[in-house]
Amino acid sequence: MANQTISPGSRRAMRFVLLVGILSFFADFTYEGARSILGPFLEAAGASATIIGIVVGFGELLGYGLRVVSGVVADTTRQFWPITIFGYIVQMVAVPALALTHSWQAAACLIILERVGKAIRNPPRDVMLSSAAQRIGGYGWAFGIHEACDQFGAMVGPLVVAAVLATRGDYRLAFAVLAVPAVINLCFLTVARLVFPRPEDMEPRAANEASAGSFPALYWVYLGGAGLVAAGFADYPLIAYHWVKHQTLATDPDLLWCGDGCKRRSVVSARPPVRPVRLQGADRVDGRLATLRAACVSRWTFRSGDSWRSAVGDGHGRA
C-alpha cells in the first residue's frame, strides 16, 4: 500500500483529483455566487413568485434529467473531455452574461442554460474523477477532496457577491464580477485537458472489468430516497424572493437595483417605482450591513410561523 501511494501513477492521479477540485472551486464560486441573488434580481426585473418558481424548477429538472443523456453519450462515445469542456463553457458563459440582460425573460433563458451546462459536464467529469480514485486509495477519498473544494467555492462565491452588493448596490456589476472566476475555471480546464488527455486510463484494468454489471438493489433504494428529498425541496432563489418581497430581513429595498434604467417596485408600499439612488455616509454603511445580513441568513428565520410563511408563501397562491 505504501508503494502504491508513492508510485508515479498514484501521484499523477492525485494531481488530477486536485486539479478537478480547483475546477469545481471556481465553477461553484461562479454559479453559486449568481444563484445567491437570482430571486431578488428576478423580482427587481418584474418577475412574480410563480415565474421564478417555474424558471428555477424547470432549470433544476433539466439540470438533473439531462445527466442521463450526457452520461449515456459519454459512455457510448468515450469522448469524456469534449463533453465536459462543452458543458463547462456553456455554464461559465451563461452566468456572467446575466449582467447583459434587460428583462426577466432573457435572464430566465440564461438561468436555464446554466443548469443545462452543468448537466452536460457532470457525468463525464465524474467518470474521469472516479478513474483516478482507485490510484489514491478509493472513491471516498477522491470525491471527498473534490467535494471539499466544491463546497468551499459555494461558500466564497455568495460572500463575494454580497460584498459587491454591499459596496456598489448593483446586481449587474455583481454578475459581471463573476466573469473573473469563470475565466479562471476555463483556464484550469484547458490545463487539465492538456496535462491529462486520457484520465480514464488511470483506472486499473481489474477495477474497470469488475465495474460492469447491473446496479444492486440498495442503489435503487438510495435513488428513491434522493427523489423524495428532491420532491420536497424549495429552491433558494424562490425563498430569497419572498424574503425581499415580505421584508423578512431588514434590507433597504431601494439600495439594490438591476442596472442601467431597470427600475423596481418598492416592497414597502404600493407607491410607484422609484429611481434607484446611491447611498452615502452612514446610510451606505447601514445598507452594507443589511445586505450582508441578507447574504448570511441564520436559522432563526424559520423559527417563527410568520417568517416561514413569508419565505414560502401563505398557502393560497399569494406571493
Q: What is the pLDDT along the chain (319 residues), one digit of tens a residue?
A: 444 445 777 888 899 999 999 999 999 999 999 999 999 999 999 999 999 999 999 999 999 999 999 999 999 999 999 999 999 999 999 999 999 999 999 999 999 999 999 999 999 999 999 988 888 877 888 899 999 999 999 999 999 999 999 999 899 999 999 999 999 999 999 999 999 999 888 877 655 554 556 788 898 999 899 888 877 777 778 788 777 777 775 444 444 444 444 444 333 323 333 333 343 444 444 444 444 444 444 333 333 334 333 334 444 444 4
CA distance 65 to 112: 13
Phi/psi of residue 270, nearest 5 degrees? -95, 20
Q: What is the pLDDT of residue 96?
A: 97
Phi-psi region of 119 (alpha: psi -120 to 50; beta: other; left: phi over 0): alpha
| CATH code given to domain 2-204 | 1.20.1250.20
Q: Which residues of 244-276 are buried (b: 16+ CB within 10 A; e: fewer)?
A: bbbebbebebbbbbbbeebebbeeeeeeeeeeb
Is 6 in a helix, a strand, or coil? coil
Enumerate the domain spans of the chain: 2-204, 236-312
Phi/psi of residue 278, nearest 5 degrees? -90, 140
Radius of gyration (C-alpha) of the chain in whole angstroms: 22
CA distance 56 to 139: 31
**Crossing angle for the helix pair 104-133 and 8-35, to the nearest 10 degrees:** 160
Q: What is the pLDDT of residue 270?
A: 31
**Grid coordinates given for 74:** 459519454
Task: Report the DSSP beta bridge partners of residue 274.
Answer: 264
CA distance 21 to 135: 16
> Which whole-number Å values give the CA distances from 47 to 220, 245, 256, in the listed order?
38, 11, 16
Q: What is the pLDDT of residue 244?
A: 78
Give the chain's count of helices (H) and strands (E). Answer: 14, 0
